[in-house]
Amino acid sequence: MIFTDHFIKGYTTCPKNLPWNKKMEFFASGYKKAKKAGDMYDLDVFFGWEFTIRGADFLTYGLDIDFLLANPGLDMLEIGKYSRLVRENGGFLAQAHPYRDEHYIEHPFPVEPYYMDAVEVFNSMDKDYSNAQALEFARKNDLPFQAGSDSHGRGHTFYSGIKLRQKAKSIFDIIDAIKGKSVTLIN
């Protein structure tokens, strides 16, 4: 499982007046709790986050808390600079639910394909037509697919994700499987 809380500029309860290092500690605390629970049930939990720019969300994998601590002000970057920084540091970026049309999303369409490594083509919280548009966009631009549950709490009963051919030993096994288009969508 990749645990992707909304980053501090998105939908979060992180106090805005904290210094950067304290914000990052606060932000990582959700992952640490999930990891501890996962360990109790023999479930691998990997670290990631959902970065928000004007309501559009970008799943970010392959980087750690040290990357966040070393990049104060990361939350203020626009997609071009954010994508470049993430990818130059070995990270992976996928746009989540690119066609979600809600009042809080300024730009309910995918960003330019060269900013991302993959597209979430199935999100269990999106409408069927939004997921279909995301799938069409990914196919048209030859971008790898992924899926996610977008689970925001215990009451969420719809789940989705990806299935790998073999158990992932690290988050990079998951990234490689997505990039290699060797995942099966669970929807």
Interatomic CA distance for residues 173 and 167, integer angstroms: 8
pLDDT tens digit string along 30-83? 999 999 999 999 999 999 999 988 878 899 999 999 999 999 999 999 999 999
What is the pTM for the complete model shown? 0.91
Interatomic CA distance for residues 135 and 98, integer angstroms: 10
Is residue 142 predicted with pLDDT exceeding 70?
A: yes
Pairing of strands 118-123, 145-148: parallel
Dihedral angle sign, alpha carbons of residues 25, 52, 153, 134: negative
Q: Model confidence at 15, in pLDDT bands (50, 70, 90)?
A: confident
Interatomic CA distance for residues 185 and 180, integer angstroms: 14
Interatomic CA distance for residues 110 and 99, integer angstroms: 7
pLDDT tens digit string along 171-186? 999 999 999 999 998 8
CATH number of 2-186: 3.20.20.140
Pairing of strands 2-6, 46-53: parallel
CA 174 to chain centre: 13
Domain residue ranges of the chain, discontinuous segments joined by +: 2-186
Query: Do 62 and 90 touch, CB atoms closer than 8 A?
Result: yes
pLDDT tens digit string along 73-86? 999 999 999 999 99
- CA-based nearest residue to 141, from 176, 81, 94, 108: 94
